[in-house]
Structure 1
């Protein structure tokens, strides 16, 4: 028995060890099961919460945006529309404390994240191979303090909306069209398109073409081939149409040469042929009223005034042109100046691009006189984006004034003054806009041939005219 005791003790110890191992394995297995169940429960809870959050999303804080005042009119409606169409991303416009700013001056906004919403290049004047930068870049940017996934959608929305508000528009302007006298003689000999057909391809494809029509178009009287009273047959309008002319100014000293009846014939003809007019009308109200056109959704407004003696001036009872008192044919009239400025301010308040035309100056003078500068500057101060002058029968200087472009005279466009180079030379303004922002001006010089026919120049001839013009200009 004593010899068996040690064996039994070993057996007992082995059983005890096995039981301990088994208990340890059972505990480990139980722990693994508990861990697995806990993990599964955790995953279940996470998925449940995510689904619950998806079905009951918590509103995110509104996107707080500040907008520069100069672009508020364009940007604020887009922000309102975005908030209405994206209710999950509400937008709140604030003046201070915004983490997002829409601006034209990103370098003044100390925020690290920037997106260009609209590229508006600096205004450049191009002529005969030369280029002059006149105005600054006016691109629109979205700046933010931090990244936010919601900003991509907002930036895309604003960029698309601004692209619609700033379409590319081409606008051409030419000077005096006086199709009487020898021009009328040439049309009788060679057809009504003859004066216009060489130059038409350079101007007709623009979205908008403007000219000064300084002659009545009527068949009441045969056109005299001498003298300084001008009239042309009604079929002369075919040449205007061939050039794509959309708007004519009648505010000059020759559009009423043959009296109210021939002038009224001209108004009827222009309406019939789809050519708008400004600076003249059936009465004073029409003559002094602005002409507003919508081009690709952008408003372009024209005002025009005559300051040269010899016109029939419109009254409440009489057709005629819009008169403006200024030197050299009258003393500068502060009341006329104030009325013009108020008309320009009103036009600018209604939005868009504003062009003001003046028929002014002494003849054959290449530089504007002080009265012309004063009036042009007053128009620009009131909101005119461009001032276009006519009458001197020669090109006058250009000026960039306070963000507005002034062409004091574009010269003769279709006329018979062949006695000097300067009366035969002229400039076509070919402009490109983005919405109401002027971004490019091209000067295209020409020379009038055969008493009536402008022909566009290139090479040294073009460079000489452009160089002479720029040398007297204030750009």
Structure 2
């Protein structure tokens, strides 16, 4: 409201001009006295929380059912399920096919195992909160093509995405309005091979062009008592240092010990 003047006629004239200006402003024309528009603060976005676990083996019916857990596996993931469900995206490595029949596709023995997880156990993965699973590992093909097909069908029916079941099996998910791609690599001829570096680069770049975020998993390494410890010192993989640890993080930057 304008400040009242000692001269009444002049004060009325000022009031009139302001009233006219306000009327024009409401018609879409910025008045001469309009204050600058306040800068709009972009809405705050909550960080995306991703949970990831390693090898998942819920039990096997091969060579017999003695290796199955009690209660049909219903309580296996009970302790970790509340944590996994809180994440926006939960990932794991399914170490074996979900299948109810078939014959082993490899020779088994004292140090060679074949896993066959009952398809009914898939619902335990779903209820625990898993959104996407890697099928790229050395046990995914224990029961051959039929085992891999059964695994994909079971996961599809449960609404769980999968990656690495075949060479070009890439999972795409929508998480918090973002398109997320998940790629899984392993050794062997079925999944995308982690030792094919040019091929891996090509696949990651292709996924990057189709997604806002790309998650890459690989299943590899060595087994046995000689390989159960992390070396003290610097490690390099694919030309990058791998000797950084969370405890060494300082001032929002990674500090790597050579």
**What TM bracket, shorter-length normalisation?**
0.7 to 0.9
**Which of the pair is proportionally richer in helix?**
1
Pick closer, same or farther for the CA change 1:250–1:60 going to 2, 3 Å: farther
Of the three residues 36, 46, 49, the one matched with 1:170 is 49
Q: Per-residue deviation at 1:60?
A: 7.1
Aligned to 1:298: 178
Alignment check: 8 A CA contact 2:92 2:134 kept: yes
Structure 1's 186 and 220: CA in aligned 2 closer, same or farther, altered over 3 A? Answer: closer
1:305-384 → structure 2 map (5 Å cutoff): 305-307=185-187, 311=188, 313=189, 320-325=190-195, 336-350=196-210, 352-363=212-223, 364-367=227-230, 373-374=237-238, 377=240
Rounded to whole Å, the distance in 2 between the matches of 1:212 and 1:337 is 21
Deviation at 1:245, TM superposition (A): 1.2
Distance 1:182 1:370 in 2: 42
Counterpart-to-counterpart distance in 2, 1:339 and 1:293: 23
RMSD: 3.8
* Pair 1:49 & 2:17 matched: yes
C-alpha separation in 1, matches of 2:61 and 2:118: 13
State the 1:265 CA deviation.
Answer: 0.8
Distance, in Å, in 2 between the alignment partners of 1:360 and 1:324 is: 8
> Matches of 1:370 and 1:262 in 2, distance apart?
40
| Cα drift, residue 244 of structure 1 | 1.3
Q: Aligned residue for 2:143?
A: 258
Which structure is higher in strand share? 1
1:150 aligns with 2:13: no
* Alpha-carbon offset, residue 398 of structure 1: 5.8
TM-score, normalised to structure 1, is 0.42
Whole-Å separation in 2 of the counterparts to 1:197 and 1:252: 25
- The question of whether the paired residues in 1 share the 8 Å contact of 2:96 and 2:116 is answered with yes
The question of whether the paired residues in 2 share the 8 Å contact of 1:305 and 1:357 is answered with: yes
In the aligned structure 2, how far is the partner of 1:274 from the partner of 1:235?
Answer: 14
Aligned pair count? 232
What is the alpha-carbon distance in structure 1 between the residues aligned to residue 153 and residue 145 of structure 2? 12
User: CA offsets, 1:122-152, max 9 Å, x none?
Assistant: xxxxxxxxxxxxxxxxxxxxxxxxxx6522x
> How far did residue 324 of structure 1 move?
2.4
Partners of 1:305 and 1:358 within 8 A in 2: yes
Q: CA 1:56 to 1:232, structure 2 compared with 1: closer, same or farther past 3 Å?
A: closer
1:370/1:216 CA distance change after superposition, 3 Å = farther
- Match of residue 239, structure 1, among 113, 120, 124: 124
8 Å contact kept, 1:172–1:206: yes
**Which of 204, 210, 215 is residue 96 of structure 2 equivalent to?**
215
Uncovered stretches (5+) of structure 1, i.e. residues with no partner: 1-37, 62-88, 90-147, 314-319, 326-335, 379-395, 404-438, 440-472
Matches within 5 A, 1:127-138: none
Preserved CA contact (<8 Å) 1:196 1:242: no
